[in-house]
């Protein structure tokens, strides 16, 4: 069985259903109201998670409630970049945004599973380059 057929007994939920579940979970008692919050991912060379990082970073904003990762691959060097846990200086502007797609068309199986489980996807902010910044 594939990931897609495992989800919801073979029937994929609509984006509206996914959004409703994610909003109820993340803005409710159980979750974290992350809509509109800024975060940063840093390819650190001094953390317990990585000593080979290049120091590059991105600043993100969550466009709506949903799941985002604790870590990701650095866009410059490929090492591990870790989340700052939504502790970001207010003057930093987002270079990327976490969004929920309008539909599931064209997504990989992994992306479909992630979105169906409340996950958000990452893209550069409109008009942005998508580049990682250097410290």
Domain-located, residue 48: yes
Q: What is the pLDDT of residue 1?
A: 35
Count structural domains, the chain: 1
The model's confidence at residue 18, banded by pLDDT at 50, 70 and 90, is confident
Lowest average pLDDT, out of 25-39, 58-72, 105-119, goes to 25-39
Domain-located, residue 58: yes
pTM comes to: 0.80
* Enclosing domain of residue 72: 38-135
Q: Would you tell me the crossing angle of helices 15-26 and 109-116 to the nearest 10 degrees?
A: 50
Domain-located, residue 123: yes
Domain-located, residue 14: no
Domain-located, residue 21: no
Q: Please name the residues in contact with 127: beta carbons below 8 A apart, sequence gap of 6 or more.
A: none
Domain-located, residue 19: no
The model's confidence at residue 14, banded by pLDDT at 50, 70 and 90, is confident
Is the pLDDT score of 10 beyond 90?
Answer: no
């Amino acid at each position: 069985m594939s990931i897609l057929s495992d989800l919801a007994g073979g029937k994929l939920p609509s984006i509206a259903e996914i959004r409703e579940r994610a909003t109820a979970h993340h803005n409710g008692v159980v979750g974290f109201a992350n809509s509109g919050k800024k975060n940063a991912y840093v390819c650190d060379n001094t953390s317990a998670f990585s000593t080979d990082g290049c120091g590059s970073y991105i600043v993100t904003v969550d466009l709506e409630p949903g799941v985002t990762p604790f870590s990701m691959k650095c866009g410059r060097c490929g090492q591990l970049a870790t989340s700052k846990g939504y502790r970001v200086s207010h003057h930093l502007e987002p270079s990327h945004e976490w969004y929920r797609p309008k539909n599931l068309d064209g997504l990989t199986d992994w992306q479909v599973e992630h979105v169906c489980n409340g996950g958000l996807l990452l893209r550069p902010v409109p008009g942005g380059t998508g580049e990682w910044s250097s410290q």
